Amino acid sequence: MSRTLFIDPFGGAAGDMLLGALVDLGANPAELRRVLAGLHLAGWRLDLQRDRHQGLAGTRARVTVEVESHPARRLADIEHLLTAATLPASVAARSRECFRRLFEAEAAAHGVPPAEVHLHELSAVDAVIDIVGTCAAVDLLDVQRVVSGPVPVGRGTIATAHGLLPVPGPAVVSLLRGVPLAAHGAEGEMTTPTGATLLVTLAERFGALPAGRLIGAGVGLGTRTFPGVPNVLRALLLEEDAAPLAARSLAIVETTVDDVTGEALRHLLDLLGDAGALDAWCLAGTGRKGRPVTEVRALCEPDRVAAITGVLFAEGATLGARVLACARPEAERHEVMVSTPFGDMPVKVGVFAGRVVSAKPGHDACAAAARGHSVSLATVVQAARAVAPVLGSPWPGVAPGDA
């Protein structure tokens, strides 16, 4: 069984809200405090309390700084703190990645090197406990993967140490680049830099609730009041029968043509590949009034859609195109070189669940070797397959010729 954490930041995302939601979901408070004690950081207290906010019950997490003499902290100070701490390896690694992202975003927002950015005295302690505590809570819940829903950011302005800034703030904009944002937005800052940092570091993807059996739910309460939108974050724990395949978010650009020659289609497919298509192909069909038509499709990364459609329009293939969002689960892909009587040949190896499921010699290299040695293509391919990783063998496997 695989456990997936789905974060639903409906009413915003902040470090204390995430931490509260995970405790509400079932992360043991005593174990959480034990992990946080490993920071060897004095002068703070974590209060966890069941409460209500705008009619919704949940857990409120509040960090109280009891000593006013905490220094401002730069990235090097945070890294030293985490290195000296006694933390589980996974918690320390996630926390370190969170702070790296946070400092880089703040640096980009203010146009200075990350080494010059610092967290102010009290907010530094708050951020450390929220980030390390959230990473620890994910660990305590034995979560295998994290998915987040679209993120609301709010609107208007917010008062900061640098003056009045627009919402979302510059650091949040930097952190959420490429992340789907929720359509609704209340007046004020709904997602903080710490909340955005945790989301982009923990979540492997952003989108809809994944399929699975719901085994737990928690609600984290925020401290702000937005008219009509409760400042809460939900955390749902799902159990799936098997670990899901990693899936890339891609796009399919397609159009239907009825007056393009075969030679022109071949040229078009080449141009689509040059424009960034991961794959491009044609399908024959029958259109209106029984006319033969060809459907041209190109699979690409979302940021290549404009380039792909530009090729279709520039070549006069069509005056319109359709763009479909899709996810592509992928097995692992590797390339190994094997030695044959005809030279070294590349072999593309597919791996699933730790075992080799395909081993295909590279066509172009095999064809060139066949021409150079005046033998058939099949002869070279057979020689490469004979020393390629064996189907069904563990990966990394040992090629028969190397055994």
Tell me the C-alpha distance between 47 and 129, whole Å. 11
Domain boundaries, the chain: 2-240, 248-329, 332-402
Span 388-393, average pLDDT: 90
Helix (H, G, I), strand (E, B) or coil at 342: coil
How many other C-beta atoms lie within 10 A of the C-beta of residue 290?
6
- 248-329 to CATH, choices 2.70.150.10, 3.40.50.300, 3.30.70.1380, 1.10.1510.10: 3.30.70.1380
Tell me the C-alpha distance between 14 and 231, whole Å. 10
Tell me the C-alpha distance between 188 and 166, whole Å. 9
Tens of pLDDT, residue by residue over 323-359, are: 988 888 888 888 999 999 999 999 999 988 788 999 9
Tell me the C-alpha distance between 279 and 251, whole Å. 11
Tens of pLDDT, residue by residue over 110-134, are: 788 888 887 764 467 889 999 999 9
Q: Looking at this protein, which amino acid is placed at residue 156?
A: G
Tell me the C-alpha distance between 364 and 384, whole Å. 13
Closest CA relative to residue 136, chosen from 18, 223, 54, 283: 18
Residue 244: its pLDDT value, please? 56
| DSSP tag of 115 | G
Residue 272: its pLDDT value, please? 95
Give me the half-sphere count of Cα atoms (radius 13 Å) on the Cβ side of residue 290. 0
Question: Do the strands 247-257 and 118-119 form a parallel or antiparallel pair, or are they unpaired?
Answer: unpaired
Span 303-314, average pLDDT: 91
Tell me the average pLDDT of the chain: 89
Contact (CB, 8 A) for 253 and 245: no
Taking the CA atoms of the chain, what radius of gyration do you get in angstroms? 27
DSSP states of 43-55: SEEEEEEEEEETT
Closest CA relative to residue 50, chosen from 215, 219, 195, 216: 219
Closest CA relative to residue 36, chosen from 102, 97, 85, 98: 85
Tens of pLDDT, residue by residue over 30-53, are: 999 999 999 999 888 999 999 998
Q: Which residues lie closer than 8 Å to 282 by C-beta, 6 or more apart? A: 265, 269, 294, 295, 296, 297
Most confident of 147-151, 160-164, 288-292: 147-151
Tens of pLDDT, residue by residue over 73-120, are: 888 889 999 999 999 999 999 999 999 999 999 888 878 888 888 776
Tell me the C-alpha distance between 256 and 249, whole Å. 24
Phi, psi of 291 (to 5 degrees): -75, 140
Tell me the C-alpha distance between 41 and 78, whole Å. 11
List strand residue ranges (DSSP E) for 105-231, in order: 118-119, 145-148, 154-155, 157-160, 163-166, 188-189, 205-206, 213-221
Domain covering 332-402 in this structure, CATH number: 3.10.20
Q: Looking at this protein, which amino acid is placed at residue 192?
A: T
Contact (CB, 8 A) for 78 and 114: no
Tens of pLDDT, residue by residue over 182-204, are: 877 788 899 999 999 999 999 98
Residue 403: its pLDDT value, please? 36
Helix (H, G, I), strand (E, B) or coil at 368: helix
Whether residue 162 has pLDDT greater than 80: no
Q: Looking at this protein, which amino acid is placed at residue 305?
A: V
